[in-house]
Structure 1
Amino acid sequence: MTALTIDVHAHVLLPEIEALVGGLPGLAEARALDARRNGPAALAVNGPMVRERVPLLTDPTVRLAAMDRQGVDVQLVSPSPSHYHYWADEETAEKLCRLAGEATAAHCSAAPDRLRGLGLVPLQHPRLAVRALDHALEQGLSGVEISSHAPGRELSDPAYEPLWSRAEESGAVLFLHPFGCTLDERLDQWYLSNTVGQPTENAVALSHLIFSGVLDRHPGLKVIAAHGGGYLPTHIGRSDHAWSTRSDAGAGCAHLPSSYLKRLYFDSLVHDPHVLGELVRVAGPDRVCLGSDYPFDMGTEDPVGALRAARLSEADFDAVRGGNAAALLNLIPA
């Protein structure tokens, strides 16, 4: 029996989504906010970077050839986070999520033994989220991708309780991938909006899930945090200290914050073998999965090589390379 190599962090671009929202009220304002947060220098690089990768993002044949070069057997494919459009009204958001699920499922149908997909839910409209999750699962997708927050709502918001309950009950995967950082213009130079913003958003979102007790109430949730969970896993000792010494910090969750890392999953995309080794240590070798951020420039073109550089034990290497994701996605090696 051959172990699978499984990449849980890979994206698909869905032109149908952008056609749906094009020209709608709110789009221009959202794009202006995105431009303000990233700054002109980043936008000047982002446009050409994405355009040259369109075949990698849209053509399953090109994707599969790239996977072969990387030695990846299976990708968990999620929509580009640029498709969230959390500004959209209820009617548009519901159409968008249905379209995202159907289009992602169609993309993955080109090679169902190698491509598994995720849909989207409208975090800005919590009452629609369960229906969107169910629709994604009906398309044969493994779950949904969510950002670190929606406008005016953190992931600790009680309005999301039905979503967490349904995801836990159904076994759906929730892939936590931020898009945009609320530090705004403080990060609008040198691509700090991504290099600092993404790991910050990951840490904030995971802290809301932990400290609010979401993971106490829903211990069976399957949450995969992109970018290795950001800053939180390597700085979790500060959270433990606050929980232990302050009544306000410890009021919402039952256990030390660090203990919840072993209830979450993390991708391996941290760009530093020492940080990856620490992530495996604090979360456990059964809680880290291979991730590449295919095919964007902030990812890695050699995810297996990046994992090998962490010098894990053979058993831990095999678990991260694919064993953990195979169990998470209910895949049986051939």
Structure 2
Amino acid sequence: MIIDCHAHLVPPGLLDAIRANAAKFPSIKVIEDGGSLGFSFAGAKPTRPVSKPLSDIAARLKWMDTQKVERQVVGGWLDMFGYEIPAEEGAGWSRLINAHLAQTAREEPRFVPLATVPLQDGALAAEVLREAHQSGFKGAMIGTQPKGKGGVLDDPALKPFWEATNDLGSVIFIHPVFESGDDRVHDYGMANAVGRITDTLIAMSRLIYAGHVGRYANARIVAGIGGAALPYVIGRLRRNYQLDKDKLGDPDAALAAMYYDTIVQDPRALRFLADVVGADRIMMGSDMPFPIGDLAPLNIVEDTPLTPSERISINGGLAQRLFGL
């Protein structure tokens, strides 16, 4: 089974539901834009509008057929997770998104949905995650910055959420958000090329040093974008750990315990990732439908020096086990 472990989907029905239920979300400004919607959360600058490829299911299935992808793991769109809005409102927003992702997966079983949760409140995030598992989700896609720009995933207030991920054995896919946290990347297309990497690197490094990867070992944590720069900086992470072992989590143990996608766009980088973390921790991914992703994702696996059994695992074997497909 060929499985794309990293993609995004905004079900068409969700946009209609947002329009119909706008009064329930007073902290969200819905912006009509060319037949689509953009959003402003709690007065923050507007997101981009939802692009047609995010909602075009027929085109997505055609692409999957062309790429020989049998199943696709889909989270929502990070720009619209809305971590900045009040917690109860955020829980309702997450539930609305999850209901439409679940409905789409029922109608088209080739999609494997990942829930979203209101990370602005750890207890509510845990509650929504448990509800999602009860309705068939295997885990969630979460952003790197809860509570908005500058938020951290090791925030003590998120302890109930991380405990729930451990109890449930959730697959938790960690993904960069709309704002990287560094205004220097807003030129030259660097928000995608660099900002997503630095955002993920910082968020994951905090989780590692906080000890979360070991403490919540039953959660299956996926570090998107090939682990960002984690494999390349493991020597520095290790050296920093050795200077303060009594207070920091072990980065080598953490990297060995997590999972990764193949979205590194260079076979040399994928080979290096496999050398550092093991090919058995890597899953093929596309970041569909975003152009910065890998829209022919089987090619890099074929072009990287790997054994046949490693290719089978990367192209779907590992994802099949993690998601119980």
Find the partner of 1:310 among 298, 304, 311: 304
State the 1:259 CA deviation.
Answer: 2.4
Residue segments in structure 2 that go unaligned for 5+ positions in a row: 30-38
Cα deviations by residue, 1:196-222 (Å, 9 ceiling, x for unpaired): 110111111111111001122111211
One-letter amino acid of the structure 2 residue matched with residue 233 of structure 1:
P
Cα deviations by residue, 1:258-279 (Å, 9 ceiling, x for unpaired): 2211111111101111111111
Find the partner of 2:324 among 325, 330, 333: 330
One-letter amino acid of the structure 1 residue matched with residue 116 of structure 2:
L
Find the partner of 1:218 among 189, 195, 216: 216
Distance change (3 Å), C-alpha of 1:313 and 1:17: farther
Q: CA RMSD in A?
A: 2.2
CA distance in structure 1 between the aligned counterparts of 2:72 and 2:141, rounded to whole angstroms: 14
CA distance in structure 1 between the aligned counterparts of 2:118 and 2:272, rounded to whole angstroms: 34
After TM superposition, the score normalised by the length of structure 2 is 0.88
**Structure 2 counterpart of 1:243:** 241
**Structure 1 counterpart of 2:73:** 76
Cα deviations by residue, 1:29-63 (Å, 9 ceiling, x for unpaired): 6597556xxxxxxx9xx66xx64xx1x42243332
1:125 aligns with 2:121: yes
Contact 1:101/1:139 (<8 A) preserved: no
SS in 2 for 1:7: strand
Cα deviations by residue, 1:216-248 (Å, 9 ceiling, x for unpaired): 21112111121111111221111011111x22x
**Structure 1 counterpart of 2:156:** 158
CA distance in structure 1 between the aligned counterparts of 2:43 and 2:265, rounded to whole angstroms: 30
Contact 1:5/1:321 (<8 A) preserved: yes
Distance change (3 Å), C-alpha of 1:293 and 1:70: same
Question: Which aligned pairs between 1:15-34 and structure 2 lie closer than 5 A?
Answer: 15-16=15-16, 19=19, 20=21, 24-25=26-27, 27=29, 30=41, 34=45
CA distance in structure 2 between the aligned counterparts of 1:64 and 1:225, rounded to whole angstroms: 26
Find the partner of 2:169 among 145, 168, 171: 171
Contact 1:6/1:322 (<8 A) preserved: yes
1:137 aligns with 2:139: no
State the 1:74 CA deviation.
Answer: 0.7
One-letter amino acid of the structure 2 residue matched with residue 120 of structure 1:
T
**Structure 1 counterpart of 2:36:** none
1 or 2 for the larger relative contact order (CA 8 Å, sep ≥6)? 1
SS in 1 for 2:166: helix
Matched pairs, number: 309
CA distance in structure 2 between the aligned counterparts of 1:302 and 1:120, rounded to whole angstroms: 26
One-letter amino acid of the structure 2 residue matched with residue 143 of structure 1:
G
Cα deviations by residue, 1:154-183 (Å, 9 ceiling, x for unpaired): 111122222122112212211111113444
CA distance in structure 1 between the aligned counterparts of 2:232 and 2:307, rounded to whole angstroms: 20
State the 1:321 CA deviation.
Answer: 0.6
**Structure 2 counterpart of 1:191:** 189
SS in 2 for 1:87: coil
Distance change (3 Å), C-alpha of 1:122 and 1:303: same
**Structure 2 counterpart of 1:39:** none
State the 1:195 CA deviation.
Answer: 1.2
State the 1:26 CA deviation.
Answer: 5.9
Cα deviations by residue, 1:69-105 (Å, 9 ceiling, x for unpaired): 1110110111011121111112321111111111001
Segments of 4+ in structure 1 off by > 4 A? Answer: 20-23, 26-35
One-letter amino acid of the structure 1 residue matched with residue 190 of structure 2:
L
State the 1:66 CA deviation.
Answer: 1.4
Find the partner of 1:270 among 257, 264, 268: 264
Task: Identify, as 1 or 2, the structure richer in helix.
Answer: 1
CA distance in structure 2 between the aligned counterparts of 1:274 and 1:7, rounded to whole angstroms: 20
Higher mean C-alpha displacement, 201-210 vs 23-32: 23-32
1:146 aligns with 2:142: yes
CA distance in structure 1 between the aligned counterparts of 2:233 and 2:106, rounded to whole angstroms: 40
SS in 1 for 2:107: coil
Percent of residue pairs identical: 30
